[in-house]
Structure 1
Amino acid sequence: MRDIAIPLPIARAVLGRMFPVMLNARLSFPVQRKLMDLGATMQWLPDDTELRRLRLGGRTAEKLTARGSSGTGAVLYLHGGGYAVGSLVTHRSLAARLAHETGCAVYLLDYRLAPEHPFPAGLDDAVAAFRQLVEDLGHPAERIALAGDSAGGGLSLATAQRLIAEHGLTPAALGLIAPWTDPNVVPERERDLVINRPWSRACAAAYLGDGDRDDPGYAPLRGELTGLPPTYVQVDVSELLHPQCTELVTALRAAGVHVRFTESQGLWHVAQAQAAFVAAAAAAVKELGEFLKEAVQPVSTPDLG
């Protein structure tokens, strides 16, 4: 199916009615998950996308590629949803678009969710999936990028930190879309177009469970940042997470990490998921894909001319 371009005011008006219904702290998380999956029908796959189910780190995952692509490298994508909602269904379109933009395989992981599986279950799953890509599927760590949005962005950062510290594995890059890197921080405002404060606090509590809120795996913004790979952070200036993203970028640069930072205006939290019908969101996905492609695909001598 070909993309369409809906004017931003119309897209904002429609989504501004949908998200408060789906991401509502008064609903149980299972109900929210069903509503999110239903809403994802608006996010179709690009033409010529190939999808294969597999197991990674003991969890269901999907390998998405563009038909005919032969690029080396891989991307492990960790979906957002406050660590409590989100699924392969909600993020399949975004992962597929990154597969087309990078020309390599994108692995979308169905990691365990809170409150049924609080911290560190999701982190354990992500680390195990990355290690399996290296040890069983033959992808060198330096040719695997970690990417994710919102909670998945925070999980990507925490996964990279643990891989480096405990396994001596450094990913090729981090691609973070509005990453939620410290769930302890209470948003200053009540809501943005997508996220509201009561819902985010419910998610933070569900994810923490009986854990330690000072554990850097839970709040990777407070963890070790030195030695992380090149990182791209995308966020819109209207988002509740915008201040946290700017803090992360400042901290990464202070730690000597190469950082690219893009602040959009007029989009919303993880608008990249709506790239099928929002041109500005599609452009952001393209930029992220180009960054990841440069990181995971080595430049050969002939390419240098």
Structure 2
Amino acid sequence: MAAPLTADALVSALRAEGVTVVEHPGWRTNNRNQKGSWGPVNGVIIHHTVSSGTSSSVGLCFNGHSALPGPLCHGVIAKDGTVHLVGNGRANHAGGGDPSVLQAVITETYGDRPPAPHQHEGSAGAVDGNSRFYGFECVNLGDGHDPWPDAQLDAVERVSAALCRAHGWGAKSVIGHLEWSDWKSDPRGFAMTGMRRRVQSRLSSSHGGAQPSEPPRPPRYQPFPGASFFKGAPNSPLVTAMGRRLVAEGCGRYRVGPSAHWSETDRQSYAAWQRKLGYRGADADGWPGAASWAALKVPYTA
């Protein structure tokens, strides 16, 4: 058992694991703590949203719906691997579940998978998962056909490892909702057994333990390609990298996610970044300039 991470500690743990984090406005005070306890925490539950589109999925998970108030999780993992934090505290994501599964997670003594659950929300013997687990919703329809991009699965791995590392847990503290409750199917489309292997491999690597053999190199950023580059409507990986940074800074205006082809949505997103930097009027027209580009720190990807 462990005390839940503070908001700042959670952000730091995720970013230290290489996660691209977007802090949704209001997430730090968005919780259901008035309805029950939050903590001690014992693990992480992975879900799918049964929705499409990053913006709408984040809004749904932040606000909830008429039958279930938000937050519906702590973070939303988009298809591009960006993690949008939407809740800090108790969240309506796990519901009731099987006490034998909780015990197996606490002790981390099970084999490939926890014991089959026989309890769920409303069962007489169910235990409250909302107080015991962090929850992360992955943007996916959950129909078995909607793809799981590599970037999204990598983010699931990194998020899980970050929380395990922060609390001193092993990968067996990470389960799917279908392993917690006997009437759930999420996440559908990848196996939690394989994901736990990925998480354990990451935890066992030198990332969080041994010192590197040589000092880390400073990050490399893309030089400003010039205003004419963007006004020519380029189709370039540089545009994708820029878009991901804009999303990470909370300035993305994308419905699905940034692509390689410069579009009006890129211009609107960049204008939001310029306004965030304090530019106004014609100086915030969405066309990149040298100063705002340098401040954005677009990573070198070549």
Task: State the TM-score, normalizing by the size of structure 1.
Answer: 0.30
Structure showing greater radius of gyration is 2
The structure with more helix, counted as a fraction of residues = 1
